[in-house]
């Protein structure tokens, strides 16, 4: 127990560890110095990348094997002590914040790549392996793991939140790229959700139930993921449009033609403005699409030529493209830098990043209406979209400590989400529910929420896994 937590016992961010002494002793016997109640450890594990209020776990455990996770869960189950899994800490909706204290299981020590099978195009890793670590390991095989949520997240965390990112338009999300999982259940039992076969009709899709469950149904400790051959040739292209609608129409036509585009990203004019300032670029301040093509030389050239035609048909100007690695990097620099460009707009504030996903036919309307609403805001807003999937992020550089700004940002977010739901979309395409999107879950799912509760109660009857997340309260 730290000095500060003794001195300020009631403060939210520095409260004393409330862990039962017997549990702490048992955890120490199990893990030695890999269990910690230090102020700094608890603080690190009490916050994520979002602006949700941090909250401290009572202790941080650092297991190194599935068996140790199982032993921790068994110990916690006795006292019904809450357990939250922690990976890279890059959650954007508070998924890892220990709302009711308890144990934060930090899985980053489980960072072994257990096997890579090039013939089967799969690899099995421990939950704490990050995507960049896996890809560095794969470098000599000619294979790669494509899912890229931006942050160097752990594969376990990406599985738990059903992550995706820029190249989901070609490769799908974690839903499509997790082959199987090893999961520790609420009673400490260890299961494997599925075989390694590419397809199976043998029973219920348990993999799918744990992918995206945000640690509320079990602790994912090992993951088998799909791998892909690194394309022979890659090309990047960039292109500005007169309107967001024109950009989206280009995207719709591209997808309908079945072109295997790797990435297809939209920055709106505000985002371009931000990144021009930050990265000293001189891009036309207009809605801009960033493309990545991959395949053989001739197929890449063919794809690029077709998309250029489509884009020009929609009034695009300034089509630039290249297959050269350096040139590609320059063309995409604005997209790569946008995260930092937006953060730099109002230093010292954390901002608010939210995402929705809609059927692509509704994308222009949701963006247009949200931009109208944003025009009233005294803070900077911009949009960055994985538009091929109908998914976009609204970034609001507000001062969360200003109640008026916070209220307006909440209203913008609420209106955007409800419009997305009305048009057949979802309250989050890839950030997850965590704390922030819980209030929209019943509007999105209706009575299906009750089915989710039935599953939660069946798998975690005492509610020890990540309590207070994902599911709104049961209907009265």
Residues 22-61 close enough to bind its own copies by CB under 8 A: none
Smaller CB separation from its own copies, 16 or 121: 121
Residue 447 engages its own copies in binding (rule: CB under 8 A):
yes
String of DSSP letters for 66-105: HHHHHHHHHHHHHHT--EEEESSS--SSSTT--TT--EEE
Name the nearest CA neighbour of 151 among 411, 340, 325, 24: 340
Residues of span 375-394 touching its own copies by CB under 8 A:
389-391
Joined together, the tokens standing for residue 96 give: 């890892």
| Options 1-9, 209-217, 262-270, 376-384: segment touching its own copies (CB under 8 A) | 209-217
Q: How far is the CB of 251 from its own copies (least distance, A)?
A: 10
What is the rounded end-to-end Cα distance, in angstroms, of the chain? 40
- The three-state secondary structure class of 355 is strand
Q: Does 12 bind its own copies (CB under 8 A)?
A: no
Q: How many residues line the site for its own copies (CB under 8 A)?
A: 97
The answer to whether residue 430 forms part of the interface with its own copies (CB under 8 A) is: yes
The four Cα atoms 366, 367, 373, 379 give a dihedral, to 10 degrees, of: 140
Q: Looking at 144-243, list the stretches that DSSP marks H as alpha helix, in order from N- to C-terminal side.
A: 155-160, 168-171, 174-177, 206-210
Buried b (16+ CB within 10 A) or exposed e, 117-137: eeeeebbbbbbbbbbebbbee
Does 192 bind its own copies (CB under 8 A)? Our answer is yes
Is residue 136 a contact residue for its own copies (CB under 8 A)?
A: no
Residue number, 295 or 351, with CB nearest to its own copies:
295
Closest to its own copies by CB, 13 vs 299, is: 299
**By CB under 8 A, residue 313 contacts its own copies:** no
C-beta of 297: minimal distance to its own copies in Å? 10
Q: Give the per-residue contact string, 261-300, with its own copies (x = CB under 8 A; - = no).
A: ----------------------------------xx-xx-
Q: Which of residues 66-125 bind its own copies (CB under 8 A)?
A: 117-122
Kindly tell me which of 232 and 324 has the beta carbon lying closer to its own copies: 232
133 is a contact residue toward its own copies (CB under 8 A): no
Name which of 352, 437, 429, 379 is nearest 149 in CA terms. Answer: 429
Q: Which of residues 454-473 bind its own copies (CB under 8 A)?
A: 454-459, 470-471
Q: State which residue, 57 or 385, has the beta carbon closest to its own copies.
A: 385
Task: Determine the Cα–Cα distance for residues 7 and 247; give it in Å rounded to an integer.
Answer: 57
Q: Does an H or E element contain 5, and which?
A: helix 3-7
Backbone torsion region of residue 427, taken as left when φ is above 0, otherwise alpha when ψ lies between -120 and 50, otherwise beta: alpha
Instruction: Out of 9, 67, 256, 404, point to the residue binding its own copies (CB under 8 A).
Output: 256
Least distance in Å: CB of 166 to its own copies? 12
Give CA–CA dist 184/247, Å, rounded: 45
What minimum distance in Å lies between the beta carbon of 195 and its own copies?
4
By CB under 8 A, tell whether 418 contacts its own copies.
no
């Amino acid at each position: 127990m730290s000095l500060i937590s003794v001195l300020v016992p009631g403060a939210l961010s520095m409260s004393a560890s409330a862990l039962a002494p017997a549990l702490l002793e048992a955890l120490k016997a199990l893990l030695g110095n890999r269990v910690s109640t230090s102020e700094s450890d608890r603080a690190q594990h009490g916050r994520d990348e979002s602006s949700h209020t941090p909250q401290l776990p009572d202790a941080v455990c650092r297991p190194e094997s599935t068996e140790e996770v199982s032993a921790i869960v068994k110990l916690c189950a006795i006292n019904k002590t809450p357990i939250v899994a922690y990976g890279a800490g890059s959650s954007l909706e508070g998924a890892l914040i220990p709302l009711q204290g308890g144990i934060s299981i930090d899985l980053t020590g489980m960072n072994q790549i257990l096997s890579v099978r090039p013939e089967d195009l799969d690899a099995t890793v421990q939950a704490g392996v990050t995507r960049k670590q896996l890809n560095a390991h794969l470098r000599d095989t000619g294979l790669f793991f494509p899912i890229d949520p931006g942050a160097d997240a752990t594969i376990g965390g990406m599985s738990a939140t059903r992550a995706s990112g820029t190249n989901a338009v070609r490769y799908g999300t974690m839903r499509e790229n997790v082959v199987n999982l090893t999961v520790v259940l609420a009673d400490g039992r260890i299961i494997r959700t599925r075989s390694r076969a590419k397809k199976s009709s043998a029973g219920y899709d348990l993999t799918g139930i744990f992918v995206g469950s945000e640690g509320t149904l079990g602790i994912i400790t090992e993951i088998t993921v799909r791998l892909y051959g690194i394309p022979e040739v890659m090309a990047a292209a960039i292109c500005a449009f007169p309107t967001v609608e024109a950009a989206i129409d280009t995207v719709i036509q591209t997808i309908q033609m079945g072109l295997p585009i790797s990435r297809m990203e939209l920055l709106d004019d505000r985002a371009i403005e931000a990144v021009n300032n930050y990265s000293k670029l001189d891009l036309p301040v207009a809605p801009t699409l960033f493309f990545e093509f991959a395949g053989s030389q001739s197929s890449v050239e063919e794809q690029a030529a077709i998309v250029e035609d489509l884009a020009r048909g929609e009034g695009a100007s300034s089509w630039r493209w290249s297959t050269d690695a350096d040139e590609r990097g320059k063309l995409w620099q604005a997209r790569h830098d946008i995260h930092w460009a937006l953060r730099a707009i109002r230093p010292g504030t954390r901002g608010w990043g939210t995402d929705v996903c809609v059927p692509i036919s509704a994308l222009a309307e949701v963006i247009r209406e949200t931009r109208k609403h944003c025009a009233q805001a005294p803070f900077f807003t911009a949009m960055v979209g994985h538009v091929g999937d109908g998914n976009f992020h609204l970034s609001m550089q507000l001062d969360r400590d200003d109640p008026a700004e916070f209220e307006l940002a909440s209203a913008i977010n609420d209106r955007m989400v409800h419009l997305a739901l009305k048009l057949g979309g979802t309250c989050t395409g890839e950030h997850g529910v965590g704390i922030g999107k819980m209030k929209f879950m019943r509007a999105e799912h209706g009575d299906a929420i009750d089915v989710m509760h039935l599953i939660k109660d069946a798998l975690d009857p005492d509610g020890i896994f990540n309590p207070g997340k994902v599911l709104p309260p049961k209907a009265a």
